[in-house]
Structure 1
């Protein structure tokens, strides 16, 4: 049998993502761990070995062009390690120890499955990053399921906090939805967010962030973050990358030697962390078909914020959202259900069907100046349905993948106001499809891979409100509907990418995609007119076209207000060609420098183009639509390097690192501004395109060293943004004070991300690695206004946090996890948050995980 170092580790099933094409290999003689790591990188497949596992056997060098299974066999030929493909596509490694001939440790079957190498969701990188990330010539991060479970997260915000270049917005902390910022870009679908590839496009305008993604971590297998341009499926209509939440599969629940499996997880803790639990079960009905189901429930109360330190802004603003050191309505009750079927219709055709439902109940509100509590009940139900297939008939020219998806989100609100609860519904229904194929051709200069296809989707936004007419004929509920308008947006995209691999040292990729959009909807602009009862005064405050809109009224006279409506129909469309290019070299097997360029394009969101109305239940005189809004576009340049080294100081250790420097120019960046509407004769807020170019630049580093008995890793982010400072509103008439033509002004940018953020994560594995104890230190710098129009509520000071976590494996089936977050009970406002919602104080949690 294969002899491993004395680790006391019970081997699990290992996964290889199969690829039938021949590849170029150049693997020297190495210990087993290093050899398999090199095999992974050079084959583009994945054999995952647990951290700390090694062998006293050395493999053969392999150099030349081979199919992956042949290369793997040659690696072990004559070493005492044999390789054979068995039934059910299983490969079994076995060997003698080379000295006594007696058997040692057995490695259970290596299951070969025809999936993308991205199916690997864990590895030796920071936060369990798999090795395929270090073959990607670009800025990609992965949060593994183990890292998610170790985080003891209140919601999905917490598990993304340590990713380089990523922040989550906490300005709407009473809402369980999350808003993700990547490299300073957020909201309005600038970053495409999805669950199993299904877009999550919901927007809701409020005082803070607008984009809301409703996903619980209970059944998330991995979170994949791409921070630049996405050249293939998932990149349509996105300016700054993508975030994809991937759900668990049957293989995550069923152990290798069984036909069924169950996983139960239960967590409780202090600081209103009442309960967070889940149960998932899967059964393999045959070798070609399996089903999975699960349900999770979370009950989190109103947390207490930290007591050590002073939150200056909270003291200045008062405590409308805080009582007795707790943030009111910061709790939630959340139920998640997941159903999934996976199978093979034939030897070369596989499929999966899944349905995830997130059902969250929460409240929003605050104490008013009269110390009366206003509470709004919120219910969000999000259904995500996906169906995908892969057809791989064994031809180098065909590897076809397709997906159909549907997402429906309903946010029902019972708004508290003077006459009782006001029922409101904000909705976003989205559906789409994608189809892509990969062909490989051997040429005289190297292996040429062609990836081409299309994707398209539709977003239907709809807000429903009751009618609340006042004595002047104004609908007081229109403010809800105007700020969250109904409309439709269609996005279509076709793409083609060619990758040439010359030998094992040079890779060149060139791509081109075309994005097209159309956005339609209807809304109104509300004006304001006054009718004088009695003899009009002699002074008119506002004349338009020979008519006095507003009189100066003596005390003896009265006026009647009216709010005429001016219909606005929006029908905008456009498209853009978007090139991309990447060059990567490998001067050494462990080092891959690269440079990358990508042009991206984001159409306006429904909210941006159609916004109208004003604050709810008051005069609708704040917002107006902008039918002339232009899409944003960006050019992003990256230079970086991947470092992947095994057996650095010993046969069992590993080092992984990804470093990326980027520079991005954004044209027509969309912000809030003030414009003059000719029909209504008034100033309004609307979304506008900034003049000139907005510049963004930064550095992102993620690294991890794992020696088996201990590990240390971390991430670092430096980010700087120079927003364009003026805008020009293009319309029928932009206002008499400029003589027509343009109206330059200063825009309002709500959020300024911090320039610096870093995390150091280290731990030890004891008692034959059954016990893991780790600590995490995170520092986030303060934010600064880009220029004088930043909303002061969203400026935050720097803070440093300490977290402790650990686990103890009683057996392969039972594990205890524990965590203490914010150990020092630090009082702070999270970055991209507001002083009205300070972050949770010290929280201790414990969880039990059972697998059987």
Structure 2
């Protein structure tokens, strides 16, 4: 066996010589709390594993983190050995057996939750694995969380995955309190968060220049957040608080498995905590509490979370969080071209506060060693306002958002290479209840209710085979979801307020741009992956997306105004001001839409690993997005007092189609300059082409031979290209990391109308900055109990592609400096503190608007206890 290892060549020996040893420990959900030793634990415990093919040394590191065991091995023993990929829920015994398969190595228990991996032919190792050149690293308490040595705590599996993936770790989420969850994504390469609707706390993620209309799918534990609402900026919105999020996974190209249906430009998945994140080793219950406050209207951000292992096979975790943030002051250093007096006065941006109450509960049941079920419910209740100053007085529209997400998951992984099955069923319901005020009459208020209900599910399985050329795996499955969107504004109420009795549905000013409609999508996929030896991985697959969208709306022809006398007691606006009222008389027509779309979408990938620490890959994928309910059924016009005669559906609207080409490299190297340091890097260059990109323009409807504003397909090919890099070096006592984004977008700005080329108007296509750079570094002092760090973000200027509102959405480049730190008093108490926008820069954030400049200097502190 030893001779066979030496035959792998000098490149393996070079990489292996840099590895001093492995010593990892962690705590994961579902592990019995009172295991007497590792052997007993491995007989009865299961865990969910996601370990890509990689060197055995690093694979054992990840295994230890995910299994909650301390794994030790002699450096020479694991040198030059590769481990196969491992995915799904397995018993820890079976998982470790697969990792060691074919290596000739075995394992034994050496104490509570401690495992030794050794060569049975080397008898000295069986006596004491700590002898010789094995060096036990500092004990790392993972607490079930996927935190690793990568940029801002990115887990190690990211740097062995041949794909453009980024992760915001729990370490980063907990670093300092944030004003809004979107702040967590500011340092991710290739990712921006739109802040054009800054008074709304919803999250709108822009990946590589794509956003809105579900181009980028946003999920909570795989449950899609499909809510859309039109406005003077971004339209797609998700509502999620940070308190119960353990990780944010971002995929920037095609998702070949579950989650990829209808996604044109990637996915963002907010993964929730598990019981093992709260319960410490050797215990059956745990409680964690956190409370924070700060300056610049950062009033309070706190939560209480508790978890218990009711039995060896059942755990429950739940909690409640509350956040209250007021309207913030902008920075005082710098010059901004702003419209003072409209949305901010005395350097305070009005209605930029929020109050959020989130509750969460999750049950985890191991029905057997290979069958696991989880059921979770997250409820987010957010209160905010929107509006500004009009004619010297303030107009306020109050917003109440309630977002319920329920997810059920089943994972079955028996002792068979043919079955690694996972099933999900989920439901999401978002209700946005708004109370609006009239511009012309502040005493008149009326409600508008926006709702989106989405139900979905998925079923996938992975089968594994040993073939002559290596290890073959087949991943296949199906997913579906159904959207039901409704908008309700009382037409009679509006008619009374405006003195309108002509039969026109004025509520179309709200429901027309946010139409009632339904959409169903079904997607099937199959992907095959071949791993040859320890250096080559090849994969390819197909997905078929099918969608159906249906609904109806009303469009109106030209307006006729008829003046009529006011009836006695009529207190409508027109009667009170003029003593008469005018009735709008229109001819109306019902328009029904029922369309189906479908596409076959291939993908392919090849990855080579010439050294243990280096992986290079190339990928190709096709993506597809059918029109959304908003795009297919648009009607009405601007909300009152404007009249709803401007918009109409476009029956000729085509789906968007994309081709993405990527080349990239992963570097994961330990022992670079010392026995305890590590370097991680992921670099990806991409080129994307999109045909039939959807924006707004003009259509002619035959019902009245009249022109309307509608969604149209942009001429030519929309192109996007860029380079994304995330890297880190961690030496234990200090660390340094960074992210770099170069992004160039070339959106089309014309469309074809009645045989002629016309400019796309009046929409705003948001164009991200070309450059974004983040540097992050710090030191760990006092036996690593004190961490002090700093971060620099430089973001380039940007301007939207087209539109009548272009000037308001232009931003200039800016550079921000942040400080952060934490002091660990003991294993149960920690103080976190930070200063955001240290130099108090006045700036407008990228993909924002001059109406809402960003917050100035904000100092925060939070105290966390865990017991």
Q: CA deviation at 1:525?
A: 1.4
Partner in structure 2 of residue 842 of structure 1: 857
Partner in structure 1 of residue 738 of structure 2: 714
Q: CA deviation at 1:751?
A: 1.3
Structure 2 residue 710 is the aligned partner of structure 1 residue 690: no
Residue from 412, 416, 432 that aligns with 1:395: 416
Structure 2 residue 355 is the aligned partner of structure 1 residue 333: yes
SS of 1:158's partner is helix
Partner in structure 1 of residue 520 of structure 2: 490
Cα gap change, 1:318 to 1:742, in 2 (>3 Å): same
Cα gap change, 1:332 to 1:110, in 2 (>3 Å): closer
Partner in structure 2 of residue 638 of structure 1: 662
Q: CA deviation at 1:629?
A: 1.2
How far apart in 1 are the matches of 2:315 and 2:512?
A: 47
Q: CA deviation at 1:39?
A: 4.0
- Residue deviations 1:608-647, cap 9 Å, x none? 1111111111211322221221110100000010000000
Cα gap change, 1:414 to 1:790, in 2 (>3 Å): closer
Partner in structure 2 of residue 569 of structure 1: 592
Cα gap change, 1:285 to 1:360, in 2 (>3 Å): same
Residue from 54, 69, 76 that aligns with 2:96: 69
Q: CA deviation at 1:85?
A: 9.1
Q: CA deviation at 1:421?
A: 1.7
SS of 2:512's partner is helix
CA contact 1:166–1:181 (8 Å) conserved in 2:
yes
CA contact 1:59–1:75 (8 Å) conserved in 2:
no
SS of 1:728's partner is strand
CA contact 2:54–2:160 (8 Å) conserved in 1:
no
Partner in structure 2 of residue 725 of structure 1: 749
Partner in structure 2 of residue 361 of structure 1: 383
CA contact 1:349–1:392 (8 Å) conserved in 2:
yes
Please, which moves more after superposition, 564-573 or 819-828? 564-573
- Residue deviations 1:459-485, cap 9 Å, x none? 100001111221443333320111110
Please, which moves more after superposition, 13-22 or 768-777? 13-22
Gaps of 5+ in 1: 28-34, 112-118, 535-557, 735-740
CA contact 2:145–2:277 (8 Å) conserved in 1:
no
Partner in structure 2 of residue 597 of structure 1: 620
TM-score, normalised via structure 1 length: 0.87
How far apart in 2 are the matches of 1:763 and 1:109?
A: 20
CA contact 2:695–2:760 (8 Å) conserved in 1:
no
Q: CA deviation at 1:691?
A: 1.6
How far apart in 2 are the matches of 1:72 and 1:527?
A: 69
Structure 2 residue 262 is the aligned partner of structure 1 residue 237: yes
CA contact 2:137–2:676 (8 Å) conserved in 1:
no
How far apart in 1 are the matches of 2:346 and 2:220?
A: 38
How far apart in 1 are the matches of 2:434 and 2:52?
A: 56
Cα gap change, 1:149 to 1:561, in 2 (>3 Å): same
SS of 1:528's partner is strand
Residue from 402, 408, 417 that aligns with 2:429: 408
How far apart in 1 are the matches of 2:158 and 2:384?
A: 37
Please, which moves more after superposition, 623-632 or 138-147? 623-632
Partner in structure 1 of residue 469 of structure 2: 445
Aligned ranges 1:1-400 → 2 under 5 Å: 12-13=26-27, 35=57, 37=58, 39=60, 59-61=77-79, 63=81, 69-70=96-97, 83-84=108-109, 91=115, 96=128, 121-312=146-337, 314=338, 317-368=339-390, 370-400=391-421
Gaps of 5+ in 2: 1-18, 30-41, 85-93, 118-125, 565-580
Partner in structure 2 of residue 703 of structure 1: 727
Please, which moves more after superposition, 615-624 or 625-634? 615-624
Cα gap change, 1:279 to 1:683, in 2 (>3 Å): same
Cα gap change, 1:849 to 1:23, in 2 (>3 Å): closer
Partner in structure 1 of residue 760 of structure 2: 746
How far apart in 2 are the matches of 1:487 and 1:710?
A: 54
SS of 2:242's partner is coil
How far apart in 2 are the matches of 1:410 and 1:95?
A: 63
CA contact 1:408–1:429 (8 Å) conserved in 2:
yes
Cα gap change, 1:65 to 1:264, in 2 (>3 Å): closer
How far apart in 2 are the matches of 1:184 and 1:199?
A: 20
CA contact 1:60–1:75 (8 Å) conserved in 2:
no
How far apart in 1 are the matches of 2:377 and 2:353?
A: 26
CA contact 2:760–2:802 (8 Å) conserved in 1:
no
Q: CA deviation at 1:135?
A: 1.6
Partner in structure 1 of residue 576 of structure 2: none
CA contact 1:489–1:606 (8 Å) conserved in 2:
yes
Q: CA deviation at 1:728?
A: 2.4
CA contact 2:69–2:115 (8 Å) conserved in 1:
no
SS of 1:655's partner is strand
Structure 2 residue 827 is the aligned partner of structure 1 residue 812: yes
- Residue deviations 1:386-433, cap 9 Å, x none? 000111111000001000000000000111122522111000000001
Please, which moves more after superposition, 63-72 or 633-642? 63-72
CA contact 2:715–2:752 (8 Å) conserved in 1:
yes
How far apart in 1 are the matches of 2:718 and 2:202?
A: 28
